[in-house]
Amino acid sequence: MQREAFAYIKGKYYDFSGNNIAFTDETFKNKKGSISAFDAIIKREAAKHGLDWRFALAIICHESSFNPNARGLGGAYGLMQFMPGTGPNYGVFPTSTPEVQIKGGMKFIAKMDKLWSGISDPNERRKFVLASYNAGVNHVHDAQKLAQKRNLNPQKWEGNVGEMMLNLGKHEFYSDPVVKAGALRGTRTYKYVNKVMSRYENYKNLVR
């Protein structure tokens, strides 16, 4: 338990340039025209929730490099890198099959997408979904409230909520009364959003 807690805190407050799992950033279609061995399942399950399957594909690649047995910081596991306290809520456990992991993951992404349904632009909304996936919804709400307080747009990421996310590690920001979830090394989340969105744009050009 102590080691898990330390790993979680380390990931939350200290900056890492990449994700929890080491993998190459070079991704490409194989000879069969697919990105991963799970493309068909991801496409099917994403469609059930009205999600762009390539967005889900980009998340999975970044989280686990398509390794269903991947282990990460704080006990995160599987393709979606669910935390031990979250995965079971979606029927996903460390021993779950890749299909079950993907089904649970799509439900979770869909829940985040619905949570941010007030953001009408789909691509903008995806950035908030990613930030929530990486840092937790409460930290994103804090960044949103900080943006609003500073007359920035609480429904725009770049230069607005994203800018406040970058500042959540600074005392003058995380000590603001509107902040409820405390400090966060927001650079990690900011980089996460940029990297996954970049991969998503790449996948849109590679697969349909």
Catalytic residue set: 63
Are the C-beta atoms of residues 96 and 104 closer than 8 Å to each other?
Answer: yes
Are the C-beta atoms of residues 49 and 68 closer than 8 Å to each other?
Answer: no
φ/ψ (deg, to 5) at 77: -145, 155
Separation of alpha carbons 208 and 205, rounded Å? 8
Query: HEC profile for 161-190?
Result: HHHHHHHCCCHHHHCCCCCCCCCCCHHHHH
